[in-house]
Structure 1
Amino acid sequence: MAQISHPGRWLTGLTLVLVAGTLVAAGLQDVRAERAGAPVFAFLFWNLFLAWVPYVLALVMTGLHRARASGWLLGVIGVGWLAFLPNAPYILTDFIHLGAIPGAPRWFDALLIGSFAGTGLLLGLASLLLVHHVVEARVGRVAGWALAIGSLTLSSIGIYLGRFPRFNSWDILTNPHGLLEVIAYRLADPLGNPFLLQFGVLMTGGLVLSYLATWGLGRALAGGRRTGVAQYGG
């Protein structure tokens, strides 16, 4: 990635865009609640809150990296970041609720859910971009890309576990036995669930393409000169 002359301003601008997306989504939800007489899509607020967690953790990692913190500390925060990362693109699956709740035109609900889903996806991709550059600066370019592709693949599995078996990030601590039991069952017969394989491949492909577009945009904004992660203080 190219060097950005004012990394603090760049991160501030990125964060403001994400805040703006959050406010737009919240505004649409308020309009929907006023029309229907109840906040029927209130769960989207919680999902978007969870989508903010990996971005905030990525900002913390970026700051610690610039402060020359130890790799162990970055690794611990990185584990938390990875555990919450699936929550960001997970909101894409909330389109299953489209048309299921009366009270507003379907096109409006599509716009409403899309605003939450789009902001959530951007939060996840932006957080990955930051962590990618930290890892690249610390370990190297190959490790950075391995982290990026690997985390998106694991996120696809996490999205499946959240939408269908209905696990969440907290279950890593509160229900590790149940989570590991489901994972072990699937690993014992990896080809036994064609839907899981199809879902994983399609979701991973979509996330990887989205991230490549994000990475390319970030490179273009940076000016096209390769300097590792210098723009984040590396």
Structure 2
Amino acid sequence: MAVATTLLVLGSLAACGLVALRADRVGEGSGLVFGFLAWNLFLAWVPYVLALLIGTLDRDGRPGWLLLGVGVVWLAFLPNAPYILTDFIHLGAVAGVPLWFDAALIASFAGTGLALGLVSLVLVHRVVARRLGPAAGWVGAVLVLALSAVGVYLGRFPRFNSWDVVTNPGGLVSVVLSRASDPLGNPFLLQFVLGLSVLLLVSYVLTWMLAAGLLGPARRTAVPPSRTPARGPLRAD
């Protein structure tokens, strides 16, 4: 994954460089108006780093409960990666540079953030496939993508974030239960989650195919052979 990490680092640096260039051209006051994108991109790096950790723990043969614990934290932060796609709502909000420049600036953050999320899911997917089998890996991946779409909705509209899982669990649960109690009463929620889920799934399948070509198929972890020495036939001396 060294090549992928290098490319993602370069993409992040290029995106932040566009923010710095904008600030240099129009002045720091209005130029850094998109500085929040750097923070959003930092949050997108969190699930990627956690996915690398999960892969390391798996290769070291750590117990499943430890991987599951890290996986829960990974899942809580994962929606931050595709969330940057919704930052296009800020396009045209602040003048000073051509609209195409700001479009490219936001796209650089959104593309890098999405790539971080998709590659992190590939890493976790491969761990699940090795431990539980290919079917479990794909079922888990599709479910995670749908939950990520819900997480993006909760972040963009009710304005929750990953920290609210710890700092405001009551408010988060209240909103989720309120929406879930009448799922057909909010057509926009259904349209948003379904549309984003499909977009993420298509993007993920393409990413998975690329990763499979580079890394090869995920092979299920073999059960280590018994170290007990084989006994020969019983004999009387």
TM-score, normalised by the number of residues in structure 2: 0.90
Q: 1: distance between equivalents of 2:189 and 2:141?
A: 21
Which residue number in structure 2 is paired with residue 4 of structure 1? none
Q: What code does the residue aligned with 2:84 have? A: I
Which residue number in structure 2 is paired with residue 22 of structure 1? 12
Q: 1: distance between equivalents of 2:220 and 2:125?
A: 9
**Across the two proteins, how many residue pairs are aligned to each other?**
218
Listed as ranges, the matches of 1:28-47 within 5 Å are 28-38=18-28, 39-47=32-40
**What is the SS of the residue equivalent to 2:34?**
coil
Which residue number in structure 2 is paired with residue 228 of structure 1? 219
Superposed displacement of residue 139, structure 1 = 1.0
User: Relative contact order (C-alpha < 8 Å, sep 6+): which is higher?
Assistant: 1
Q: 1: distance between equivalents of 2:9 and 2:109?
A: 12
Identity within the alignment, %: 60
Measured against aligned partners, the alpha-carbon deviations of 1:14-42 in whole angstroms (never above 9, x if no partner) come to: 10000010011011110011122121101
Contact 2:130–2:218 (8 Å) recurs in 1: no
Superposed displacement of residue 222, structure 1 = 3.5
Listed as ranges, the matches of 1:72-91 within 5 Å are 72-91=65-84
**What is the SS of the residue equivalent to 1:22?**
helix
Q: What code does the residue aligned with 1:13 have? A: V
Label 1:150 to 1:181 Cα distance change in 2 as closer, same or farther (>3 A). same
Q: What code does the residue aligned with 2:105 have? A: L
Match of 1:93 among 83, 86, 90: 86
Q: 1: distance between equivalents of 2:207 and 2:166?
A: 32
Q: 2: distance between equivalents of 1:78 and 1:219?
A: 22
**What is the SS of the residue equivalent to 1:184?**
helix
Q: What code does the residue aligned with 1:168 have? A: N
Listed as ranges, the matches of 1:139-154 within 5 Å are 139-154=132-147
4+ residue segments displaced more than 4 Å? none
Q: 1: distance between equivalents of 2:220 and 2:20?
A: 40
Measured against aligned partners, the alpha-carbon deviations of 1:165-186 in whole angstroms (never above 9, x if no partner) come to: 0000000000001000000101
Label 1:227 to 1:60 Cα distance change in 2 as closer, same or farther (>3 A). closer
Superposed displacement of residue 229, structure 1 = 6.3
Which residue number in structure 2 is paired with residue 123 of structure 1? 116
**What is the SS of the residue equivalent to 1:191?**
helix
**What is the SS of the residue equivalent to 1:147?**
helix
Measured against aligned partners, the alpha-carbon deviations of 1:26-62 in whole angstroms (never above 9, x if no partner) come to: 1111001112212110100100000000000000000
Label 1:63 to 1:207 Cα distance change in 2 as closer, same or farther (>3 A). same
| Bigger Cα Rg | 2
Q: 2: distance between equivalents of 1:141 and 1:63?
A: 20
Q: 2: distance between equivalents of 1:46 and 1:146?
A: 31
Match of 1:179 among 172, 182, 189: 172
**What is the SS of the residue equivalent to 2:158?**
coil
Q: 2: distance between equivalents of 1:54 and 1:69?
A: 19
Listed as ranges, the matches of 1:54-65 within 5 Å are 54-65=47-58
